[in-house]
Amino acid sequence: MPLYALTLEYDGGPFVGWQRQENGLSVQQVLEEAAAKLNGGVVPASVAAGRTDAGVHAEGQVAQLGIDRELPPERLREALNFHTRPHPVAVVAAALAPAGWNARFSAIHRGYRYRILNRRARPALELGRVWHVQQRLDAAAMHDAAQRLLGRHDFSAFRAAACQAKSAMRTLDRLEVSRQGDEVVIVAEARSFLHHQIRNLAGTLLEVGQGKRGVEWPRRVLDGADRTRAGQTAPAEGLCFGFVRYAQEPDWV
Amino acid sequence: MPLYALTLEYDGGPFVGWQRQENGLSVQQVLEEAAAKLNGGVVPASVAAGRTDAGVHAEGQVAQLGIDRELPPERLREALNFHTRPHPVAVVAAALAPAGWNARFSAIHRGYRYRILNRRARPALELGRVWHVQQRLDAAAMHDAAQRLLGRHDFSAFRAAACQAKSAMRTLDRLEVSRQGDEVVIVAEARSFLHHQIRNLAGTLLEVGQGKRGVEWPRRVLDGADRTRAGQTAPAEGLCFGFVRYAQEPDWV
């Protein structure tokens, strides 16, 4: 059975998250049920690079899907974009997966973006895509604080209680905070992240931006390895899964 | 009665357009009914810099509103953002209008942006915000063609049949087409535009981008002054009213 790699864009708003759940529609279900139409009605299993939570968006999620049929990747892409309608899930690229490739375990780098709309007026155009914070944030201080978290650490202070990873050791390669007009944007990159890690980092950096905490505080929270000392978990809607990189990159079309 | 100036952001999707109509909810109605709550229940009349069509978005529409009550502009902004809920209309700035100022007739420069999502996959994240065109467009050729339309001309070939302007003479100051990743973005600036002018320009430039027409064709259509020779009216959802400038700029807060 040939294995395909897919790059997915989706609006996380209407979904319970990437993963199939009893309580509502998931991106995985939409994708797999569309694929079943090309697989003689049999629903194939898919695996994603990141199991995004309810409300989290993706520009460049990557998933794998085995279909009992040889299809040119461009035809698979077109067919899935037809069958995933009208859901806000689109296959932007497809490829035959390289031998031994796995969408989740072969990923060597993941990039996310967290957007804060930092103005008095509530969002109209970007509703559901940003965290609305009215108090003026000091993005430079947030960036300064973020730089002290880079490198290999035990990120226990920033993981969700429900996080299933065996180890909380992660290497944070990039955590940049910048002001872009009315927005404060956080860009985070690492080989992999813990559950809620970026949203917990965003909620912690926020307190620095508000002036409630000094720029050295998030690092103290990190070193304390105690989740109860960190800031709030920032809301899902501000987060977007940007891209995944692989040592052996599929030949996307 | 004090006159206030408001800068508005809205998602045009759920509305019949800026202007009040019998057949559905308009941005004007949402704004005026919110203002009535601050005006002893009396619905005040508003005037906008541009009467955007159904589905057209705004980042920086400007409107005026007379309310029988002296309010600090920041309080008016906050109160309107409360009372326009849950509609996707936000007041991003407010000011007391300068003496003699009119939101529509005092405007000296207007800027719009038209976004084309130019890729095979249908939009997921930008659904309702872009015109989806699958065939690869030559943005450089579109830009070249656009430059030949700049300056003062009779734009009859690009106005809607329903256009109510007395004269079709307009001065097009900027019409830039550029590729930004998967998008082809058209930026248009002028003192004022005719009804559907930008959408008709976008639909005409599209044919150049597709290679169906040469770069000199849109100028020949302009010179012919015949609407039936131009391209299609590009869909509303790709258009966003970006900003308005005034000789006497209100003191925005």
Amino acid at A166: K
- pLDDT for residue A164: 87
- pLDDT for residue A195: 96
Q: How confident is the model at residue A229 (pLDDT cuts 50, 70, 90)?
A: confident
Of the candidates B59, B120, B123, which has its C-beta nearest A125's C-beta?
B59
Is residue B98 domain-shared with residue B194, that is, in the same domain? no
- pLDDT for residue B14: 97
Is residue A136 domain-shared with residue A176, that is, in the same domain? yes
For residues B177 and B205, the answer to whether their CB atoms sit within 8 Å is yes
- Strand B151-154 to B57-66 pairing: unpaired
Parent domain of A96: 3-105
Of the candidates A57, A77, A127, which has its C-beta nearest B88's C-beta?
A127
Per-residue pLDDT of B130-170, as tens digits, reads: 999 999 999 999 999 999 999 999 999 999 988 889 999 99
Is residue A148 domain-shared with residue A95, that is, in the same domain? no
Question: In A, which residues are within 8 Å of B129 by CB distance?
Answer: 125
| A85 contact B CB<8A | yes
- The answer as to whether B45 is a domain residue is yes
- pLDDT for residue B225: 74
Is residue A212 domain-shared with residue A225, that is, in the same domain? yes
Number of domains chain A contains? 2
Is residue B115 domain-shared with residue B83, that is, in the same domain? no
Instruction: Report B:217-246 residues touching A (Cβ under 8 A).
Output: 240
What distance in Å separates the CA atoms of residue A96 and residue A93, rounded to the nearest whole number? 11
Count Cα atoms within 13 angstroms, Cβ side, for B217.
Answer: 19
Handedness of CA B122, A252, A58, A71 (dihedral sign): positive
DSSP per-residue codes, A171-216: EEEEEEEEEETTEEEEEEEES---TTHHHHHHHHHHHHHTTSS-TT
Per-residue pLDDT of A138-151, as tens digits, reads: 999 999 999 999 99
| B83 contact A CB<8A | no
What distance in Å separates the CA atoms of residue B181 and residue B119, rounded to the nearest whole number? 10
CATH number at residue A70: 3.30.70.580
> How many angstroms separate the CA of residue A14 from the nearest CA in chain B?
12
Is residue B184 domain-shared with residue B78, that is, in the same domain? no
Q: Which residues pair with A152 in a beta bridge?
A: A171
Per-residue pLDDT of A102-119, as tens digits, reads: 999 999 999 999 999 999
Per-residue pLDDT of B77-96, as tens digits, reads: 999 999 999 999 999 999 99
For residues A34 and A25, the answer to whether their CB atoms sit within 8 Å is no
Respond yes or no: is residue B226 known to be catalytic: no
The fraction of chain B above a pLDDT of 70, given in percent, is 100
Is residue A90 domain-shared with residue A113, that is, in the same domain? no
Q: Which residues pair with A110 in a beta bridge?
A: A190, A244
Per-residue pLDDT of A31-58, as tens digits, reads: 999 999 999 999 999 999 999 999 999 9
8 Å CB contact of A88 and B125: yes
C-alpha pair distances (Å), B78 with each of B62, B97, B124: 16, 17, 32
* ipTM over cut 0.90: yes
- pLDDT for residue A215: 97
Of the candidates B74, B89, B121, which has its C-beta nearest A91's C-beta?
B121
- pLDDT for residue B20: 97
Mutate to test the interface with B, among A91, A122, A182 (most CBs of B within 10 A): A122
- The answer as to whether A247 is a domain residue is no
Mean pLDDT of B17-26: 96
User: How many Å from the N-terminal Cα to the C-terminal Cα in chain B?
Assistant: 20
Is residue B90 domain-shared with residue B142, that is, in the same domain? no
- Token representation of residue A54: 């309810």
Phi–psi pair at A155, nearest 5 degrees: -95, 30
